[in-house]
Chains A and B, each alone.
Chain A
Amino acid sequence: MSEKIKNYRGEALKSADIKEGRVPTEKCRPKAKFAWSAGIAIGRFLEELKKAKIIASTCSKCGRIMVPPRIYCENCFKPTDGWKYVKDTGTINTYSVSYLAADATRLKEPILVAIIDLDGASEGMGIIHKLGEVDKEKIEFGMKVRAVWKPKEERVGSITDIKYFKPVKEETP
């Protein structure tokens, strides 16, 4: 590689070259609009969220209680057999403290994001959501959390019907 070729092709530009118009550019924003059918499984899931409930689907072959629900078990490749409510509590599987918004701009107040393994679902069945009412320094792996729901009139059948999850104190047996 190195001996044979003296010049590797490519001319680097700086951000300012574009901003200040030193190189010609053409700008365009795509008009791509979508309306996805939620389908049977996620459709039901969203309807239940509106009622402040979390529903899973079950597979009689492998015995898994799966959330988010699906109409087929991807492991057994057969239709799922039933529906089962799971709790709106769970444990933190992993988490992050994000100083970046979706568009990569920097946030003053970080977003706390976590995978939450829901109680009542099979082991490791997590969903991704945000954490709230918690000091970012005090979040721990395995911490128990509970969903904080929007009030009934604000729930529309969306994952954001859950505002966030907040820590729960260990209940005494």
Chain B
Amino acid sequence: MSEVAIVGVGCVGFQPILPELSYKELMYEAAVKAYDDAGVDPRKDIDVFVTCAEDYLEGFSIFDEFVPDQLGAVLRHLFTVSGDGLLGLANAYMLIKTGHFDTVVLEAHSKASDLLTLMDVIAFALDPVLNRPLGGHPYYVAGMEMNRYLHDTCTTVEQCAQVVVKNKKNACGNPYAAYGANITLDQVLCSDMCFYPLKKLEISTPADGCVVMVLASEKVAEKLTDKPVWVKGVGWCTETPNLETRDWSKAVDTRLAAEMAYKTAKIHNPRKEIDLAEVNDLFAYKELQHMEALKLCAYGEAGKLTEEGVTARNGELPVNPSGGLLGMGYGLEASGTEKLLEVVLQLRGEAGRRQVSNVEVGLAHAWRGIPTTTGIAAVLSNVK
């Protein structure tokens, strides 16, 4: 079975709002960058195109219709994954692994600014009979989860707030980040209480942007680039849609996804073998919970490590050097590809001011947000 590599990346955004470009033009701009980066002509060189989108986030039924032209995929083999960009990566990876396809393009984007009622749409994802009629802002689900997580692990609110300080600071060095800032722990702790114990500054803000990547089989990758980033393993899992029966404290989906990815990638000791991690931080506590589920540390240990600076960019285990979603902005279904982009740039040594030294293995992780329990993890390396 062929190895799979990422051979080109392109990103536009992320910015709080990109009003001058339509979603199509946004995707086109990112695609052109990715194809230039990979040195491919999409009209001839690409076997399959994968786009990741959800209808209600776009304002369409069947968003797939509006995708091919701007990616160069007219009369080509394209499909939509209704999921996070990282789930698109999983499918692109499998396609190449079949041996039938050599080149796959992956696209995910956010035009969150086109959607005026994001929270109402998210509420529309709740169970229509049991949960939705109760009303309220859907992020109360995150408040409940954070509360249980803090209760079970003795993680402190200060430790959660520290994630925000770190990530927004990291984002200051990232040209793709929308919300970089130097803020203090007190500012986070004093921000409005929204969904107890979750505070305003601990919640990622939506942003517009698009990420396109080109993946290739071993033989094609080595022709195209001398800096391939290898996809060593991908794992994904859905726990349960039911609020009533899920595990509220442990991010089981992410743990199972990580186990699958590590198995393929032959990672036995994640903490030691992974040089940097980009984990989902849609809410600050999620970074901590996810670090634990990803086995980067013991259950309940992530808060302490964060406080000690272990997860800072120059720490022993850099987590979200990109600035994460708290710093880059919440890119809806592109959230996972924001993470993936950073890992690729870091492994290529192209992360500029954010570059972490001596990196060989990186981890990208995504979670699909409220109200889902779907997690995806990918292990990447610049060594085959």
A/B touching: CB–CB < 8 A: yes
* CB-based contact B116/A39 at 8 Å: no
Given contact pairs A30-B121, A33-B116, A34-B59, A71 touches B28 in the complex (Cβ within 8 A) = yes
Stretch at the interface among B128-136, B192-200, B242-250, B311-319: B128-136
User: Measured between C-beta atoms, what is the minimum distance from B77 to chain A in Å?
Assistant: 15
Q: Could you say which residues of chain B place their CB within 8 Å of the CB of A75?
A: 43, 74
- Please give me the residue from chain B that is nearest to A26 by CB atom: B129
The answer to whether A70 has its CB under 8 Å from any CB of chain B is: yes
* CB-based contact A40/B25 at 8 Å: yes
* CB-based contact A36/B133 at 8 Å: no
User: Measured between C-beta atoms, what is the minimum distance from A151 to chain B in Å?
Assistant: 29
The answer to whether B69 has its CB under 8 Å from any CB of chain A is: yes
* CB-based contact A37/B74 at 8 Å: no
The answer to whether B114 has its CB under 8 Å from any CB of chain A is: yes
Interface bin, chain B? 20 to 34
* CB-based contact A40/B56 at 8 Å: no
Interface flags for B57-80 (1: CB within 8 Å of A; 0: not) read 001000000001110101000000
Number of A-B contacts (CB under 8 A): 82
* CB-based contact A37/B43 at 8 Å: no
The answer to whether B354 has its CB under 8 Å from any CB of chain A is: no
Q: Could you say which residues of chain B place their CB within 8 Å of the CB of A76?
A: 43
* CB-based contact B114/A40 at 8 Å: no
* CB-based contact A36/B25 at 8 Å: no
Kindly identify, within residues 12 to 32 of chain B, every residue whose CB is under 8 Å from any CB belonging to chain A. Answer: 18-25, 28
Given contact pairs A30-B56, A75-B74, A37 touches B124 in the complex (Cβ within 8 A) = no
* CB-based contact A35/B116 at 8 Å: yes
Question: Contact partner of B21 among A30, A32, A37, CB < 8 A?
Answer: A37
Question: Contact partner of B120 among A32, A39, A42, CB < 8 A?
Answer: A32
Question: Contact partner of B19 among A37, A70, A71, CB < 8 A?
Answer: A37
Interface flags for B203-232 (1: CB within 8 Å of A; 0: not) read 000000000000000000000000000000
The answer to whether A28 has its CB under 8 Å from any CB of chain B is: yes
* CB-based contact B116/A74 at 8 Å: no
The answer to whether A95 has its CB under 8 Å from any CB of chain B is: no
Complex-state Cα separation, A71 to B133, whole angstroms: 44
- Please give me the residue from chain A that is nearest to B72 by CB atom: A77
Given contact pairs A37-B20, A77-B42, A71 touches B25 in the complex (Cβ within 8 A) = yes
Interface flags for A26-51 (1: CB within 8 Å of B; 0: not) read 10101111111111111100000000
Given contact pairs A32-B121, A71-B28, A40 touches B21 in the complex (Cβ within 8 A) = yes
User: Measured between C-beta atoms, what is the minimum distance from B61 to chain A in Å?
Assistant: 11
Given contact pairs A30-B124, A32-B59, A74 touches B69 in the complex (Cβ within 8 A) = yes
Complex-state Cα separation, A36 to B22, whole angstroms: 7
Q: Could you say which residues of chain A place their CB within 8 Å of the CB of B129?
A: 26
| B interface, CB within 8 angstroms of A | 18-25, 28, 35, 41-43, 56, 59, 68-70, 72, 74, 111, 113-117, 120-121, 124, 128-129, 132-133
Q: List 26 A-B contacts (CB under 8 A).
A: A26-B129, A28-B128, A28-B132, A30-B124, A31-B120, A32-B115, A32-B124, A33-B117, A34-B114, A35-B114, A36-B114, A37-B22, A39-B25, A40-B20, A40-B21, A40-B22, A70-B24, A71-B28, A72-B70, A74-B69, A74-B72, A76-B43, A77-B35, A77-B41, A77-B43, A77-B72
